[in-house]
Amino acid sequence: MQAAAGDMIGEPKAVSKKAFAEMMSITQGRVSQLIKKGLPVEPDGRIDVARGKLWIQANVSPIRSGAQSKQAALPFAAQLDAAAEQARYAKERADNMELKNKQLRRELISADEVEKVWAAERRDLRSAILAAPTRIRQNLPHLPREDVDEINAILRTILRELAHDQ
């Protein structure tokens, strides 16, 4: 026999209010309150364990009474959610601290600093490209002036095209 979707291995399919209360670590009175709020109940008054747990997970706030211990007062499924949220928050704090430490050690640099360096590199490259025809004329004096002017025009066209791509 194949288990239905949502069935838990080793758990009965439906149980009494008292048994469900014990499974979820809550009181029978609380189970009655939850039934009034919509906890699904079988026609015979028993509670389908899988559906009940899913309903509680979807409908019961993990933080209930301030008079009770927050973790002890929560149904098991909600305890898991609260623990997962605490773990997520702790990881977020650790990640944040790691980023701050990397910045202090200068392992990370700001985007503004990177942009300043790249802007200086682009200016230097542009200057070198614009100076190329003069260098060509000096190193290859036998080239006709028209050829060097054509090289200059091509390089300037390339620089304009690159400037428009940004």
Three-state SS string across 57-100, please? Answer: HHHCCCCCCCCCCHHHHCCHHHHHHHHHHHHHHHHHHHHHHHHH
The answer as to whether 100 is a domain residue is: no
The answer as to whether 57 is a domain residue is: yes
CA-based nearest residue to 157, from 129, 137, 131:
129
The answer as to whether 96 is a domain residue is: no
Residues 31 and 86 in one domain: yes
pLDDT for the residue 3: 44
Under a CB-based contact definition with an 8 Å cutoff, are residues 91 and 99 in contact?
A: no
Q: Which domain holds residue 158?
A: 111-165
The answer as to whether 84 is a domain residue is: yes
Q: How far is CA 14 from CA 39, 46, 66, 158, in A?
A: 13, 6, 31, 76
The answer as to whether 99 is a domain residue is: no
Residues 79 and 127 in one domain: no
Identify any residues that bridge with 47 across adjacent strands, giving them in sequence order: 15
CA-based nearest residue to 52, from 60, 38, 40:
40
Give the total number of structural domains in the chain: 2
For 25-84, how does the pLDDT look when each residue is reduced to its tens digit (9 = 90+)? 888 888 898 999 889 899 898 998 889 888 888 888 766 544 444 555 555 556 667 777
Q: How far is CA 39 from CA 33, 44, 71, 119, 131, in A?
A: 9, 14, 21, 63, 80
pLDDT for the residue 84: 77
pLDDT for the residue 74: 56
- pLDDT of residue 5 exceeding 80: no
CA-based nearest residue to 48, from 80, 19, 78:
19
Residues 76 and 133 in one domain: no
pLDDT for the residue 155: 96
pLDDT for the residue 7: 46
SS3 142: coil
CA 75 to CA 57: how far, in whole Å? 8
CA torsion sign for 7, 10, 13, 17 is negative
CA 152 to CA 131: how far, in whole Å? 9
pLDDT for the residue 10: 54
